Amino acid sequence: MTAERIWGIVPAGGSGSRIADSGIKGEGGISIDGKLPKQFIRVGGVPILVKTLKALFNAGVLSGITVPVKEEYIGLARELIVEFGLTDRNILFVTGGETRQASVFNGLLSIEKMGGADIVLIHDAARPIIAPETVTAAVEEARRFGAAAVGVGATDSSVLSKDLFIESYVPREKLFSVQTPQVFMYDLIMEGHRAALSDGITDATDDAGLVLRMGKKVRIVPGSPENIKVTFRGDLDRIR
Protein backbone atom coordinates (compact mmCIF):
# COMPACT_ATOMS: atom_id res chain seq x y z
CA MET A 1 0.00 0.00 0.00
CA THR A 2 1.41 3.40 -0.96
CA ALA A 3 2.09 5.71 1.98
CA GLU A 4 -0.13 8.76 2.22
CA ARG A 5 1.56 11.89 0.89
CA ILE A 6 0.76 15.01 2.89
CA TRP A 7 2.56 18.11 1.69
CA GLY A 8 2.64 21.52 3.27
CA ILE A 9 2.77 24.84 1.45
CA VAL A 10 4.06 27.82 3.42
CA PRO A 11 3.83 30.94 1.24
CA ALA A 12 6.67 33.22 2.32
CA GLY A 13 6.77 35.73 -0.49
CA GLY A 14 5.20 38.69 1.31
CA SER A 15 7.03 41.87 2.20
CA GLY A 16 5.59 42.33 5.68
CA SER A 17 5.13 46.02 4.94
CA ARG A 18 3.30 46.88 8.18
CA ILE A 19 6.22 45.63 10.26
CA ALA A 20 8.83 46.92 7.81
CA ASP A 21 7.35 50.41 7.91
CA SER A 22 7.90 50.45 11.66
CA GLY A 23 11.64 50.37 11.06
CA ILE A 24 12.29 46.98 12.68
CA LYS A 25 15.22 45.05 11.25
CA GLY A 26 15.09 42.09 13.59
CA GLU A 27 17.90 40.41 15.49
CA GLY A 28 20.74 39.52 13.16
CA GLY A 29 18.51 40.01 10.13
CA ILE A 30 19.85 40.75 6.66
CA SER A 31 17.75 42.96 4.44
CA ILE A 32 18.37 43.21 0.72
CA ASP A 33 16.17 46.18 -0.01
CA GLY A 34 16.24 47.90 3.38
CA LYS A 35 12.99 46.29 4.53
CA LEU A 36 13.42 42.76 5.79
CA PRO A 37 10.38 40.58 5.01
CA LYS A 38 8.80 39.73 8.34
CA GLN A 39 9.18 35.98 7.90
CA PHE A 40 12.97 36.44 8.11
CA ILE A 41 12.94 38.63 11.23
CA ARG A 42 14.67 36.87 14.11
CA VAL A 43 12.78 36.60 17.36
CA GLY A 44 14.80 35.14 20.21
CA GLY A 45 17.53 34.51 17.66
CA VAL A 46 15.35 32.37 15.38
CA PRO A 47 13.69 33.62 12.16
CA ILE A 48 9.90 33.49 12.18
CA LEU A 49 9.90 31.26 9.08
CA VAL A 50 12.15 28.72 10.81
CA LYS A 51 9.91 28.70 13.88
CA THR A 52 6.91 28.03 11.64
CA LEU A 53 8.55 25.21 9.68
CA LYS A 54 9.69 23.49 12.88
CA ALA A 55 6.23 23.78 14.41
CA LEU A 56 4.61 22.17 11.36
CA PHE A 57 7.10 19.31 11.19
CA ASN A 58 6.64 18.70 14.93
CA ALA A 59 3.13 17.45 14.19
CA GLY A 60 4.72 14.42 12.55
CA VAL A 61 2.30 14.16 9.61
CA LEU A 62 4.00 16.03 6.76
CA SER A 63 5.96 14.35 3.99
CA GLY A 64 7.56 17.69 3.15
CA ILE A 65 6.96 21.42 2.83
CA THR A 66 7.15 23.63 -0.24
CA VAL A 67 8.04 27.25 0.51
CA PRO A 68 7.28 29.82 -2.21
CA VAL A 69 9.57 32.81 -1.61
CA LYS A 70 10.74 35.84 -3.57
CA GLU A 71 13.60 34.83 -5.84
CA GLU A 72 16.03 37.29 -4.26
CA TYR A 73 15.51 35.68 -0.84
CA ILE A 74 15.78 32.01 -1.82
CA GLY A 75 19.51 31.99 -1.08
CA LEU A 76 18.93 33.43 2.40
CA ALA A 77 16.15 30.92 3.05
CA ARG A 78 18.41 28.00 2.13
CA GLU A 79 21.14 29.32 4.42
CA LEU A 80 18.68 29.37 7.30
CA ILE A 81 17.78 25.73 6.73
CA VAL A 82 21.44 24.84 7.18
CA GLU A 83 21.99 27.20 10.12
CA PHE A 84 19.05 25.84 12.10
CA GLY A 85 19.54 22.14 11.41
CA LEU A 86 16.65 21.46 9.05
CA THR A 87 18.68 19.84 6.27
CA ASP A 88 17.24 16.43 7.17
CA ARG A 89 13.74 17.70 6.44
CA ASN A 90 12.14 17.60 3.01
CA ILE A 91 11.93 21.33 2.27
CA LEU A 92 11.64 22.68 -1.27
CA PHE A 93 11.97 26.37 -2.11
CA VAL A 94 10.20 27.67 -5.21
CA THR A 95 9.79 31.14 -6.64
CA GLY A 96 6.84 32.99 -5.16
CA GLY A 97 4.29 34.88 -7.22
CA GLU A 98 3.15 38.48 -7.22
CA THR A 99 0.25 37.62 -4.90
CA ARG A 100 -0.35 35.09 -2.15
CA GLN A 101 -2.70 33.22 -4.47
CA ALA A 102 0.00 32.99 -7.13
CA SER A 103 2.56 31.82 -4.58
CA VAL A 104 0.30 29.04 -3.31
CA PHE A 105 -0.45 27.96 -6.87
CA ASN A 106 3.29 27.83 -7.61
CA GLY A 107 3.61 25.59 -4.58
CA LEU A 108 0.82 23.35 -5.85
CA LEU A 109 2.50 23.12 -9.25
CA SER A 110 5.78 22.12 -7.62
CA ILE A 111 3.99 19.30 -5.79
CA GLU A 112 2.35 18.27 -9.06
CA LYS A 113 5.79 17.98 -10.68
CA MET A 114 6.82 15.61 -7.89
CA GLY A 115 3.89 13.31 -8.59
CA GLY A 116 1.18 15.04 -6.60
CA ALA A 117 -0.06 14.41 -3.08
CA ASP A 118 -3.06 13.08 -1.24
CA ILE A 119 -3.51 16.03 1.07
CA VAL A 120 -2.16 19.59 1.04
CA LEU A 121 -1.80 21.76 4.14
CA ILE A 122 -1.46 25.52 3.56
CA HIS A 123 -0.14 27.65 6.41
CA ASP A 124 0.96 31.26 6.81
CA ALA A 125 4.72 31.72 7.20
CA ALA A 126 4.06 34.30 9.92
CA ARG A 127 2.04 31.96 12.19
CA PRO A 128 4.78 30.23 14.19
CA ILE A 129 2.70 29.28 17.24
CA ILE A 130 0.69 26.44 15.77
CA ALA A 131 0.05 23.49 18.07
CA PRO A 132 0.83 19.99 16.72
CA GLU A 133 -2.60 18.75 17.77
CA THR A 134 -4.24 21.49 15.72
CA VAL A 135 -2.29 20.40 12.65
CA THR A 136 -3.25 16.75 13.07
CA ALA A 137 -6.90 17.64 13.75
CA ALA A 138 -7.06 19.75 10.58
CA VAL A 139 -5.54 16.94 8.52
CA GLU A 140 -8.02 14.43 9.94
CA GLU A 141 -11.01 16.66 9.19
CA ALA A 142 -9.76 17.21 5.63
CA ARG A 143 -9.64 13.43 5.21
CA ARG A 144 -13.26 13.21 6.36
CA PHE A 145 -14.75 16.22 4.60
CA GLY A 146 -12.34 17.13 1.80
CA ALA A 147 -11.49 20.57 3.20
CA ALA A 148 -10.86 22.01 6.65
CA ALA A 149 -9.84 25.39 8.04
CA VAL A 150 -8.74 26.29 11.54
CA GLY A 151 -10.85 28.99 13.16
CA VAL A 152 -11.50 30.65 16.50
CA GLY A 153 -15.00 31.47 17.70
CA ALA A 154 -15.94 35.09 18.26
CA THR A 155 -15.87 36.35 21.84
CA ASP A 156 -17.17 39.87 21.30
CA SER A 157 -20.58 40.83 19.98
CA SER A 158 -20.59 41.52 16.24
CA VAL A 159 -22.92 43.67 14.21
CA LEU A 160 -23.82 44.56 10.67
CA SER A 161 -23.68 48.29 10.04
CA LYS A 162 -24.46 50.90 7.44
CA ASP A 163 -22.90 54.35 7.50
CA LEU A 164 -21.55 53.56 10.98
CA PHE A 165 -25.01 52.81 12.39
CA ILE A 166 -25.82 49.35 13.72
CA GLU A 167 -28.38 47.55 11.59
CA SER A 168 -28.43 44.19 13.34
CA TYR A 169 -26.50 41.85 15.59
CA VAL A 170 -24.97 38.66 14.25
CA PRO A 171 -25.33 35.59 16.52
CA ARG A 172 -21.91 35.09 18.09
CA GLU A 173 -22.07 31.30 17.80
CA LYS A 174 -22.08 31.61 14.00
CA LEU A 175 -18.93 33.74 13.79
CA PHE A 176 -15.36 32.48 13.52
CA SER A 177 -12.07 34.18 12.77
CA VAL A 178 -10.46 31.96 10.15
CA GLN A 179 -6.78 31.13 10.58
CA THR A 180 -4.40 28.65 9.03
CA PRO A 181 -3.59 25.87 8.52
CA GLN A 182 -6.19 25.17 5.90
CA VAL A 183 -6.07 21.59 4.66
CA PHE A 184 -7.51 20.07 1.50
CA MET A 185 -7.56 16.95 -0.57
CA TYR A 186 -4.97 17.71 -3.22
CA ASP A 187 -7.23 17.38 -6.26
CA LEU A 188 -9.86 19.63 -4.67
CA ILE A 189 -7.57 22.56 -3.94
CA MET A 190 -5.92 22.26 -7.37
CA GLU A 191 -9.39 22.44 -8.91
CA GLY A 192 -10.22 25.46 -6.77
CA HIS A 193 -7.12 27.37 -7.82
CA ARG A 194 -7.50 26.54 -11.50
CA ALA A 195 -11.18 27.50 -11.47
CA ALA A 196 -10.34 30.83 -9.85
CA LEU A 197 -7.70 31.62 -12.46
CA SER A 198 -10.09 30.61 -15.23
CA ASP A 199 -12.63 33.08 -13.81
CA GLY A 200 -10.10 35.90 -13.63
CA ILE A 201 -9.56 35.77 -9.86
CA THR A 202 -5.88 36.40 -9.12
CA ASP A 203 -5.68 38.02 -5.69
CA ALA A 204 -7.58 35.73 -3.32
CA THR A 205 -6.13 35.83 0.18
CA ASP A 206 -7.84 32.71 1.50
CA ASP A 207 -7.68 29.23 -0.02
CA ALA A 208 -10.82 27.94 1.67
CA GLY A 209 -12.74 30.64 -0.17
CA LEU A 210 -11.65 29.18 -3.50
CA VAL A 211 -13.16 25.86 -2.49
CA LEU A 212 -16.35 27.46 -1.16
CA ARG A 213 -16.97 29.30 -4.43
CA MET A 214 -17.20 25.91 -6.16
CA GLY A 215 -20.05 24.96 -3.86
CA LYS A 216 -17.94 22.67 -1.66
CA LYS A 217 -18.06 22.58 2.13
CA VAL A 218 -15.16 23.47 4.41
CA ARG A 219 -15.10 22.03 7.93
CA ILE A 220 -14.09 24.37 10.77
CA VAL A 221 -11.43 23.02 13.13
CA PRO A 222 -11.37 24.76 16.53
CA GLY A 223 -8.11 26.65 16.92
CA SER A 224 -6.43 28.84 19.51
CA PRO A 225 -6.19 32.61 19.96
CA GLU A 226 -2.45 32.03 20.48
CA ASN A 227 -2.11 31.07 16.81
CA ILE A 228 -1.56 34.67 15.77
CA LYS A 229 -0.30 35.93 12.45
CA VAL A 230 2.60 38.30 13.05
CA THR A 231 1.44 41.57 11.54
CA PHE A 232 2.34 44.45 13.83
CA ARG A 233 5.31 45.34 16.00
CA GLY A 234 3.64 44.23 19.22
CA ASP A 235 3.10 40.74 17.80
CA LEU A 236 6.85 40.06 17.96
CA ASP A 237 6.77 40.08 21.77
CA ARG A 238 3.88 37.59 21.75
CA ILE A 239 5.89 34.91 19.92
CA ARG A 240 9.15 35.12 21.89
pLDDT at residue number 31: 43
Please give the helix or strand (H or E) that residue 69 lies within, else none. Answer: strand 64-69
| Tens digit of each residue's pLDDT (9 = 90 or more) over 92-102 | 999 999 999 99
Using N-to-C axis directions, what is the helix angle for 48-57 and 74-83, rounded to 10°? 60
Q: Does residue 202 fall inside a structural domain?
A: yes
- 92: domain CATH number? 3.90.550.10
Q: Does residue 1 fall inside a structural domain?
A: no
Residue 4: helix, strand or coil by DSSP?
A: coil
Q: Does residue 73 fall inside a structural domain?
A: yes
Q: Does residue 33 fall inside a structural domain?
A: yes
Mean pLDDT of 169-178: 94
Q: Does residue 227 fall inside a structural domain?
A: yes
Banded pLDDT at 81 (limits 50, 70, 90) = very high
How many domains would you assign to the chain?
1
- Lowest mean pLDDT: which of 31-40, 154-163, 215-224? 31-40
pLDDT at residue number 239: 79
Q: Does residue 181 fall inside a structural domain?
A: yes
* 130: pLDDT strictly greater than 90: yes
Between CA 117 and CA 96 the distance in angstroms is 20
Beta-bridge partners for 158: 170
| Tens digit of each residue's pLDDT (9 = 90 or more) over 12-58 | 987 655 454 444 444 444 444 457 899 999 999 999 999 999 999 99
Between CA 8 and CA 66 the distance in angstroms is 6
Q: Does residue 50 fall inside a structural domain?
A: yes
Banded pLDDT at 116 (limits 50, 70, 90) = very high
Domain that holds residue 50: 6-238
Give me Rg for the CA atoms of the chain. Answer: 18
pLDDT at residue number 17: 52
Q: Does residue 66 fall inside a structural domain?
A: yes
Q: What is the pLDDT of the chain when averaged over all its residues?
A: 91
